Amino acid sequence: MTSQTTQNNVNPIKIAVLAMGGQGGGVLADWIVTMAENAGWWAQTTSVPGVAQRTGATIYYLELLPEQAVKEMGRQPALALMPTPGDVDLVIAAELMEGGRAIQRGLVTPDRTTLISSSHRAYAVLEKSAPGNGIVDGNKVIDIGKRAAKRFLCFDLQSLAEQGGSVISASLFGAVAGSGALPFSREDFEATIESGGKGVKASLKAFALAYDVAQNAPETPDAIDTAPPQRAVPDTAKHPRVKALLDDIRQNFAPAAQPMLVAGLQRTMEFQDLAYGKEYLEHMRGIHALDKQYGGESKNWALTTAAARYVAVAMAYDDVIRVADLKTRASRFDRVRDEVRAKPDQLVYTTEYMHPRLEEICGTMPTFLGERIENSESLKRWLQPLFRKGRFLNSTSLTGFLMLYGLAGMRRFRRTTLRHKIEMQGFQEWLNLILQTAPNDYDLAVEVVNCRRLVKGYSDTHARGQSKYQKLIRAARNLSGQNNAAERLRTLRNAALADEKGSQLDTLLEKGDQAFA
């Protein structure tokens, strides 16, 4: 027995480990059991699998009892198979929202529970598929955890694992050791890792990093910085014409809007070409002049800053050509290899699921041909059955890659396509509405700009967003000149973002003025 305990009662140490599939929650639980048994303790672990919104979440439950306590009882202990709310000593969460789930289940209590959670996020399906920004604020979980737990340790254990070249189970093990929540020495923990015989060096490194952070952890966790990184205007650029555009941003636009303008310029040039980026800045020049006249510094250049983002989004729309371009980039293949932790000598095959509708196919055609098909009921009846089912395409095979690469190469013809014509017509109508609204109601004009947030994606996703966007634009025209028009349009926009089908938006529109009474 390598460590001693002062525990003289027969109550076991009760531990709950919450982890998602692939995070090594089972490995962590086995390490704790092995360590306890090597120290002469009784130990038991069970797992309660569940299907969460990610890749499946499991609760591993452990109970540890020292041999001395068993001898005092005079019989073998009966250990529980599942955690009981209000009766857990240590909760270990491999992701922040798993920590929140433990709190919600009542496993964390302020009179006894130590909560150790990684602060990183693995976004749920509902967060990623929300029409707007569906990401849950992790700081709310941290605030609740401070009140719910007797002691709360929360820091980015995923990044520490990556620094050590290991997985999060190793850094979680180190955080448990550094917290002092279990009556075992650091040597006991490290000996357990070494006894595994696999990835020992990397696991020990990740363990040590987390151990040190836990040892020096503040009494209460710090808030997570959720602000997006600021993009400064580069001082230089490789291409002299690009440098000229960046100099234009620096010299002729408000500093508050410059970071977003740089991002917008980069997106539009990447989408098409340098000339297209120049067109973007010309559109923004007109909006900036309008902003200067009716809002400007007094409004913190809200119109220009919002437009810098959404003008770029509108110009760099998601068409089939762009999707193919994104799927054939070397950076994407590298990212996929990193995500699956492939070794240099391993082959990784990527299968894409693609389901373009007939409208997307027509959109890639020259305008005259695409319009002819869309205006012909007989042609549509003949062609639509060909696109009712999705297709699986191996983008890492030669044939699959060349198909996507050839489609991405159609970018040079994009301005002649039907999709580009449709997008630019809608884009110009949106710009005209902004120009008409700003002189009379600056705040409403800003909200009109933000309505463009609804339009994204392609295929069915784009169709749903476009439908809700058109409803908002009609509402904006009707609200012009009314009191609190900007606030009312913002309420409608939030309703449109609240659900995929737009039911809340339809309800508010049906109620009309009564919805804002």
For position 514, what pLDDT does the model report?
Answer: 65
**At residue 74, does pLDDT exceed 80?**
no
Question: Which residue in this structure is represented by tokens 């190793």?
Answer: 170
Residue 444 CA to residue 240 CA, distance in Å, equals 39
* Bridge partners (DSSP) listed for residue 351: 394
* Cα 31 off chain centre by: 31
- Which of 460, 474, 464, 462 shows the shortest CA–CA distance to 430? 474
- Which of 479, 480, 451 shows the shortest CA–CA distance to 465? 451
For position 7, what pLDDT does the model report?
Answer: 39
Which range has the top average pLDDT, 17-26, 211-220, 271-280, 451-460?
271-280
| Distances from the Cα of 64 to the Cα of 24, 56, 78, angstroms | 20, 26, 11
**Pairing between β-strand 13-20 and β-strand 57-66 as defined by DSSP bridges:** antiparallel
Residue 356: which pLDDT band, with cuts at 50, 70 and 90? Answer: confident
Q: Which helix (H) or strand (E) holds 62?
A: strand 57-66
pLDDT tens digits, one per residue of 242-258 = 889 999 999 999 999 99
Maximum pairwise Cα distance, the chain:
90
**At residue 10, does pLDDT exceed 90?**
no
pLDDT tens digits, one per residue of 435-485 = 999 999 999 999 999 999 988 877 778 888 899 999 999 999 999 888 889
For position 388, what pLDDT does the model report?
Answer: 81
How large a percentage of the chain has pLDDT more than 70? 90
- Distance from the first to the final alpha carbon of the chain: 72
Residue 42: which pLDDT band, with cuts at 50, 70 and 90? Answer: confident
**Residues belonging to the chain:** 517
> What tokens appear for 182 in the block?
């279990």
**Do 48 and 61 contact (CB within 8 A), yes or no?**
yes
Residue 58 CA to residue 41 CA, distance in Å, equals 25
Better pLDDT: 194 or 232:
194
For position 5, what pLDDT does the model report?
Answer: 37
Residue 506 CA to residue 180 CA, distance in Å, equals 55
Residue 265: which pLDDT band, with cuts at 50, 70 and 90? Answer: very high
pLDDT tens digits, one per residue of 362-418 = 999 999 999 999 999 999 889 888 888 888 989 999 999 999 999 999 999 999 999
Better pLDDT: 509 or 124:
509
**507-514: average pLDDT:** 80
Residue 196: which pLDDT band, with cuts at 50, 70 and 90? Answer: confident
CATH number at 13-216: 3.40.920.10
Residue 233: which pLDDT band, with cuts at 50, 70 and 90? Answer: low
pTM equals 0.71
Of the CA atoms within 13 Å of residue 184, those in its CB half-sphere come to 30
**At residue 303, does pLDDT exceed 80?**
yes
Residue 234: which pLDDT band, with cuts at 50, 70 and 90? Answer: low
* Residue 497 burial (10 A CB sphere; 0-12, 13-18, 19+): buried
DSSP 165: T
Task: Locate all alpha helices (DSSP H) within 66-199, ordered by sequence.
Answer: 67-73, 96-104, 125-129, 138-148, 157-163, 168-179, 186-196
Domain boundaries, the chain: 13-216, 443-516
**C-beta atoms surrounding 31 within 10 Å:** 23
| Distances from the Cα of 272 to the Cα of 410, 411, 412, angstroms | 10, 7, 8
**At residue 307, does pLDDT exceed 90?**
yes
Which range has the top average pLDDT, 54-63, 255-264, 390-399?
255-264
- Which of 408, 405, 370 shows the shortest CA–CA distance to 271? 408
Helix/strand/coil for 205: helix
Residue 347 CA to residue 345 CA, distance in Å, equals 7
**At residue 237, does pLDDT exceed 90?**
no
For position 187, what pLDDT does the model report?
Answer: 94
Q: Whole-number mean pLDDT of the chain?
A: 86
Give the angle subtended at the CA of 96 by the CAs of 91 and 101, to the nearest 5°.
60
- Which of 421, 442, 430 shows the shortest CA–CA distance to 486? 442
Helix/strand/coil for 15: strand
pLDDT tens digits, one per residue of 121-178 = 877 666 666 666 667 778 888 899 899 999 999 999 999 998 998 989 999 999 999 9
- Which of 457, 454, 458, 459 shows the shortest CA–CA distance to 474? 454
Residue 9 φ/ψ, nearest 5 degrees: -95, 180
**Pairing between β-strand 90-93 and β-strand 114-118 as defined by DSSP bridges:** parallel
For position 52, what pLDDT does the model report?
Answer: 47
For position 113, what pLDDT does the model report?
Answer: 93
Helix then strand then coil, in percent of the chain rounded to 5, is 60, 10, 30
Residue 49 φ/ψ, nearest 5 degrees: -70, 150
DSSP for 282-335 reads HHHHHHHHHHHHHTGGGGTTHHHHHHHHHHHHHHS---HHHHHHHHT-HHHHHH
**At residue 93, does pLDDT exceed 60?**
yes
**9-38: average pLDDT:** 86
DSSP 229: P
